[in-house]
Amino acid sequence: MNESDGDLRADCGACAGLCCVALPFAASADFAEDKPAGRPCRHLTADHRCGIHDRLRDSGYQGCAVFDCYGAGQRVTARPGLVPGAAMFEVFRVTRQLHELLWYLAEAAERAEPAEPSALYAEIDALVAGDAGTLVATDVDALRARVGPVLERAAARVHAGAGAGDGRDLRGADLVGARMRGARLRGARLRGALLIAADLRGADLRTADLLGADLRDTDLRGADLSGCLFLTQPQLEAARGDTATVLPSRLSRPAHWPAAHPGGAHGGAGHMAGPSAGKATPRGRAKGYRPGKRSGDGSGGRRGRERYEGRRKGTGGGPGAGRGGENRNRGTDRRPDDRG
């Protein structure tokens, strides 16, 4: 498989519905009910289609609406010698994690000096294509630990070449519910940042590094995400945006995002008053971020966080677990060095 995006995009028509059988999920704000690993979802049809595909969000399956297998489903379905069952599901589980790494490496190769990410891409791709027993025994965490620095160096090259602002360091920052409307975050390092329900309307996020940032319900209406690094479709699907949100060319506008307000009144960076308007601090609090403001008793931020913690499923924990809007309980979902 080469580094083309096409091989890393889900093709549900060529898949045996693996994600709807192999993966578990738990009743929550993202799933209407419990489903153990290996049991077909009751909405899966005989021809491997989702019977509620056109109404997933309205039916309580937001977690399915934001999920992406990065092309692992059709690749595993096409593997010779595997039939649906425990062995195939395990191959899918590992392949899906490795395909996500391939997605990041493909972007790194495209955006910066390609030699290093391309070599690692080829190594991981060969692993996915190789013996199934070797594949499922892969130490995925060890591979992640190798991919992380490669992506870090690629981001540094992109930022150096783009003159990308001051590259504010907000890695892993807790910005849940932060008010950052119109923030100037060009080139910011937001790896693993908690931006859940943050207000980033009209923000300048050009070339920001968003690897593993939690964008669930983040308000991106009118924001400029052009050239963003390591932003994925599941992150976008979990966020709020509109037709005025500017996206990186690699990604698609989520179908549920509405048309922009005719007045375009999202308050971009250029409209902010004063030199510090919209600035987010390295300590992780945006100017104007007031936890508890909503309830008046100082507990609003905490409650908001607890609400989303409740939505996080998974038993793996660790950096990035369940982040980026991917809320299925896969137990081992992590990202390379997102510092979450």
Which residues make up the interface to ligand SF4 (CB under 6 A)?
20, 41, 43-44, 50, 52, 61, 64
CB of 64 to ligand SF4, least distance (A): 3
CA distance 312 to 11: 26
Residue (of 317, 312, 321, 322) closest to 28 by Cα position: 312
CB of 328 to ligand SF4, least distance (A): 8
Is residue 164 left, alpha or beta, with left meaning phi > 0 and alpha meaning psi from -120 to 50? beta
CB of 41 to ligand SF4, least distance (A): 3
Residue closer to ligand SF4 (CB basis): 10 or 176: 10
Long-range contact pairs involving 131-134 (C-beta distance under 8 Å, separation at least 24): 132/79, 132/81, 132/82, 132/87, 132/91
CB of 44 to ligand SF4, least distance (A): 4
CB of 213 to ligand SF4, least distance (A): 24
CB of 90 to ligand SF4, least distance (A): 18
CB of 50 to ligand SF4, least distance (A): 3
Residue (of 8, 84, 93) closest to 48 by Cα position: 84
8 A C-beta contact, residue 99 and residue 9 = no
Residue (of 334, 305, 332, 313) closest to 31 by Cα position: 313
Residue closer to ligand SF4 (CB basis): 88 or 105: 88
Residue closer to ligand SF4 (CB basis): 48 or 285: 48
Residue closer to ligand SF4 (CB basis): 30 or 217: 30
Residue closer to ligand SF4 (CB basis): 49 or 290: 49
Residue closer to ligand SF4 (CB basis): 52 or 151: 52
Is the alpha carbon torsion for 108, 111, 112, 118 positive or negative?
positive
CB of 51 to ligand SF4, least distance (A): 6
Residue closer to ligand SF4 (CB basis): 18 or 195: 18
Residue closer to ligand SF4 (CB basis): 43 or 186: 43
Give bridge partners of residue 224 from the DSSP assignment: 204, 246
Residue 59 makes CB contacts below 8 A (sequence gap 6+) with: 32, 52
- Residue 44: phi and psi, rounded to 5, are -75, 130
8 A C-beta contact, residue 30 and residue 63 = yes
Read off the amino acid at residue 93: R
Read off the amino acid at residue 251: L
CB-facing half-sphere around the CA of 254: CA atoms within 13 A? 24
Residue closer to ligand SF4 (CB basis): 61 or 257: 61
CB of 98 to ligand SF4, least distance (A): 21
- Which token pair is 210? 């968003």
